Amino acid sequence: MKNNLVDFQKIAIAVHPKNDQAYKLAEKIAASLTKDGKQILLGRMDEKSLRDGICNDCQDLLIALGGDGTMLRAGHICAPTNTPILGINLGRFGFLTEIQKDEWKNALKRVLRGDYWLEKRMMLLTSMYRGDEKIGQWNALNDAVISRGETIRPVQFEIFINTRQLSTIVADAVITSTATGSTAYAMAAGGPILSPELRNIILVPVAPHLSIEQSLVLSEDVLVSVTVHTSHQAVISIDGQPPVDMKTGDRVEIQASDYAVQFIRFQDPGYFYRNLIPYMDQNPSIKKNNV
């Protein structure tokens, strides 16, 4: 493994907001690191004090306890400051986490002696416009999904790549995804699986009606523009977060973000391919007692 000469002095520890067991484990980790002379910032992922502490107090490392959703939240917080993230899996999938909860003691020893490597993951910058007014802007680690709302009727999506019109489709949704998000909703909708270090934008239509069905893998330097035309509700959701309402004529622009998320890894770089098939063969979202 690469030896990284980084002196981690300020270490934040963040847990899933609703997981009390995770918080108890976080306290144990904090006590261990405090004995080693580290300055610890401990909190739940949704606490403003934790988020502000990471963003404003230049933490050297974030240890995130939870599942992939927790890791997505961690990525949003840490990307602007290039703070590396060590993920401890307490969830179901663990596509983004690095170790299991009983491995934390050895993992911390390895981190503190520099025995790890950093994996950089591309993000998407997503901006929503209503006319010439920018309504919102977000960075996504997984995906930005533009879709119908509660009404079970498709939406018309006018799609441009740079300034050239690609197509106008009628579908339930359009997913724009990173390589990281290629194993999430994009995969479920029939999109390709990309190696996580690739810097591509994936475009996937969901349930298109008499429209283009194929997904596209685009280069990182393109600008994807999607305008919605609908007589009912449409929404946009970033990394599975609560949706934001859209109106007919609203336009969403998606491009590669200047930010990247850095994950601490101990496994060899081929870990993604080794773990992919076991994850897909033993889907942890399916309860074992389901028939």
| Domain definitions of the chain by residue range | 10-116+266-281, 124-258
3-state helix, strand, coil in the chain (%, to 5): 25, 40, 35
Phi (first) and psi of residue 160, to 5 degrees: -120, 145
Return the H-helix or E-strand segment holding 22: helix 20-35
Write the CA distances from 118 to 15, 174, 178, integer angstroms. Answer: 21, 31, 18
Q: Indicate the fold that domain 124-258 takes in CATH.
A: Tumour Suppressor Smad4 (2.60.200)
Quick check: 120 pLDDT over 50?
A: yes
68 noted as active-site residue: yes
Quick check: 123 pLDDT over 70?
A: yes
Quick check: 291 pLDDT over 70?
A: no
pLDDT (tens digit per residue) in 262-278: 999 998 888 888 777 77
Starting from the edge strand earliest in sequence, which strands make up the sheet with 244-246, in order? 216-219, 200-206, 173-177, 143-148, 234-238, 244-246
**pLDDT confidence band for 56 (50 / 70 / 90):** confident
pLDDT (tens digit per residue) in 200-239: 999 999 999 888 788 999 999 999 999 999 999 999 999 9
Q: Which CATH superfamily is domain 10-116+266-281 in?
A: Probable inorganic polyphosphate/atp-NAD kinase; domain 1 (3.40.50.10330)
Please name which of 203, 201, 223 lies closest in space to residue 146, comparing C-alpha atoms.
203
Euclidean distance between CA atoms 220 and 231, whole angstroms: 33
Catalytic residue among 52, 60, 68, 132: 68
Return the H-helix or E-strand segment holding 262: strand 251-265
Which pTM value belongs to this model?
Answer: 0.90
